[in-house]
Amino acid sequence: MAAVIFDGVTKRYGDVVAVDDLDLTIDHGEFMVLLGPSGCGKTTALRMIAGLEEISDGVLQIGDRVVNHVDPRDRDVAMVFQSYALYPHMTVSKNIESPLITRPTVVEGSDQPRKLTKAERAERIAEAARMLDLAPYLDRKPAALSGGQRQRVALARAVVSRPAVYLMDEPLSNLDAKLRAQTRAELVDLHQRFGTTIVYVTHDQIEAMTMATRIAIMSQGKLQQVGTPRDVYDAPANLFVAQFIGTPPMNTAPGKVSGDAVVVGESRFRFAGRHDDGRDVVVGVRPEHLTIGGDGAVKGVVRHVEWLGYEALVTCEVGADAANRFTLRQDASATPPAVGDTVPLQVAPERVHVFDAASTERLGG
C-alpha cells in the first residue's frame, strides 16, 4: 500500500509556482528523500503532506484517504522541523508528551484511535526517552540541552505518537559534522527497526545517498527523477540530475554523435549502445571513471592539479575549448602529470552518459 501519493499536486504563491504538477508515490515503509537545491520546493511539498500549506491543484493522498482538506491533526503524521520547534517553556518530558494530549492516538490491538490515559502517556514517554537516550534529561527545559540532545527531543516527539508517516525538514542541518554522521546512522537504524515511512527533505546529497531507499530530485518546483541512490547516480535522467549528484560533479561537454562515439573537438568518447548520427548531444563522464592512459581517442591538456592527500584531482581541457574542463580523480600514489602536458584519457564506453542537447534528457542505449 502506498503511504503518500501526490497526483498532479501544484502549489502557487501568487505568481510563484513553488511545486509544479508533482506526481510521486511514496511506498509504505520507504525512506524517501526529497533532494534539490535551495528554493526548489522541497519544504513546500513536505508541508503540504503535513497540511500546513493548502494545495492549489491536484490530489494528495495519505494511505487510501484524500487529504486535501483534512486538518493537520487528523492526518496521522509527525514532523521534525529544521529549527526543531521545541516548546521552550516546557520540560523535555512535557515536550515529548505534547502530541499525545489533544489527539486520539492509534493504539495496538484496536483499530479505533483514542485518547491515551495518563499512565499510557507516561509509558510512551519513557519508551521514546529510552530509544533516544533522553532519560537523564526529561526534567530539563530545552534551553539546557545541547544541539544534538534537542534534535533527539524533536525526534522523540515525533516517534511518541507512532504516526503513519514521519516528515523531516533538514533535521540535521544544525548539527556539526560528527554528530550529523552519527545521527544519520541512528535515523537509518530507526527506520529499519520500525519499518516506518519517512519523507525527508534535504539539499545535502550525502544525506540523501546514505539514508534514502529512494530519492526524489527536484528543481524549480519540478520533479526531475525518482529512484534508488544507485539509479540516480548511475543513470541520471537528465543533465540537472547528472550534475547535481556527485562530488566533484559529472564532467560534461557539448558534442556531436558520429558512429559509436560523441565527438568533442578532436576527442572521441565511445559509448555503449546506439545513437543517431549527427545528433547534437552533451556527453557526460564522472571524474572517477576517467583515467589517464589508453589509445588517445580522448586527449586533454592538464590545466590544474589538486593534491588532496587521499587522491588528486586533475583538471584537463578537452577538445581545445577552454570551457570543456574535465576533472578526473587519480590515486594519490600515482605521479600526477605536470600542468601544460597533453595526456591521453580513457573511459569505458558503458560509463559514458549521453544527453540530448536540446531537451537535456538522457539518451538511453
Partner 1 sequence: MGIEAEELVPGVVVAGPRSEAPPEAPNRSWLAAVGWYVLLIGLSLLVLLPVWLTLMRALSTPAAAVKPGASPFLPHEVQWGVFRRAIDQGNLWAALGRSMVVTILITGGQLVTSVLAAYAFAYLRFPFKRVIFALFMATLLLPIEVTLLPNLHTVRDLDWFNSYQGMAVPFMATALGTFLIRQGFLGVPSEIRDATRLEGYGHWSYLWKFAVPLTRPVIASFTVISFLAAYNQYLWPRAVVTDSNNWSTIQIALRDLTTTPETSNIAVAGALVAAIPIVVLLILFSRQIVQGLTAGAVKG
Ligand X SMILES: Nc1ncnc2c1ncn2[C@@H]1O[C@H](COP(=O)(O)OP(=O)(O)OP(=O)(O)O)[C@@H](O)[C@H]1O
Which lies closer to partner 1 via its Cβ, residue 77 or residue 282? 77
Nearest approach in angstroms of CB 287 to ligand X is 26
Shortest distance, CB of residue 9 to ligand X, whole angstroms?
A: 13
Q: Give every CB contact of residue 254 below 8 A, 6+ residues apart in sequence.
A: 264, 280, 281, 282, 283, 357
Nearer to Mg ion, 43 or 105 (CB): 43
Alpha helices in 198-304 (DSSP H): 205-211, 229-234, 239-244
- Shortest Cβ 72–partner 1 spacing (Å): 5
In the complex, which residues of this chain contact ligand X (CB under 6 A)? 13, 16, 18, 36, 38-44, 203
Contact criterion met (CB below 8 Å) for 267 and 317 = no
Binding site for partner 1 (CB under 8 A): 47, 50-52, 72-73, 75, 77-79, 81-83, 85, 87-89, 98-99, 101-103
CA distance 150 to 132: 11
- Please, which residues have CB within 8 angstroms of residue 127's CB and are 6 or more apart in sequence? 160
Residues binding Mg ion (CB under 5 A): 43
CB 216 within 8 A of CB 23: no
Q: Which is nearer to partner 1, 143 or 177 (CB)?
A: 143
Q: Which is nearer to ligand X, 39 or 246 (CB)?
A: 39
Q: Report the partner that residue 73 touches, choosing among ligand X, partner 1, Mg ion, none (CB closer than 5 to 8 A by kind).
A: partner 1
- Residue (8 or 72) nearer to partner 1, CB: 72
Contacts of 3 (CB under 8 A, 6+ apart): 26, 27, 28, 29, 30, 62, 63, 164, 165, 197
Residue 25 touches which of ligand X, Mg ion, partner 1, none (CB < 5 to 8 A by kind)? Answer: none
Q: Minimum distance between the CB of residue 83 and ligand X, rounded to whole angstroms?
A: 12
Residue nearer to partner 1 on the CB measure, 164 or 181: 164
Region label for 278, one of left (φ > 0), alpha (ψ between -120 and 50) or beta (otherwise): left
* Integer-rounded Cα radius of gyration of the chain: 25
Q: Which does 98 bind (CB under 5 to 8 A by kind): partner 1, Mg ion, ligand X, none?
A: partner 1
Residue 191 CA to residue 116 CA, distance in Å, equals 25
Are the beta carbons of 160 and 124 closer than 8 angstroms?
A: yes
- Residue number of the CB closest to Mg ion reads 43
**Quick one: cell of 64?**
487510501
Tell me which of ligand X, partner 1, Mg ion, none is bound by residue 18, counting a contact when its beta carbon lies within the kind-specific cut-off of 5 to 8 angstroms: ligand X
DSSP states of 13-65 as a string?
Answer: ETTEEEEEEEEEEEETT-EEEEE-STTSSHHHHHHHHHTSS--SEEEEEETTE
Q: Nearest-CA neighbor of 250 among 202, 203, 287? A: 287
CB 162 within 8 A of CB 106: yes
User: Which of 153, 212 has the CB closer to partner 1?
Assistant: 153
CB of 88 to partner 1, least distance (A): 7
Minimum Å distance from CB 203 to ligand X? Answer: 5
Residue placing its CB nearer to partner 1 in the complex, 75 or 289: 75
Smallest gap from residue 157 Cβ to partner 1 (A): 8
- CB-nearest residue to ligand X: 43
CA distance 363 to 237: 9
Minimum Å gap between C-beta 237 and ligand X is: 19
165 binds, among Mg ion, ligand X, partner 1, none (CB under 5 to 8 A by kind): none
To ligand X, the closest distance from the beta carbon of 227 in angstroms equals: 19
DSSP string, 99-151: HHHSS-B--TT-SS-BPPPHHHHHHHHHHHHHHTT-GGGTTS-GGGS-HHHHH
Q: Which does 203 bind (CB under 5 to 8 A by kind): Mg ion, partner 1, ligand X, none?
A: ligand X
Q: Which does 144 bind (CB under 5 to 8 A by kind): ligand X, partner 1, Mg ion, none?
A: none
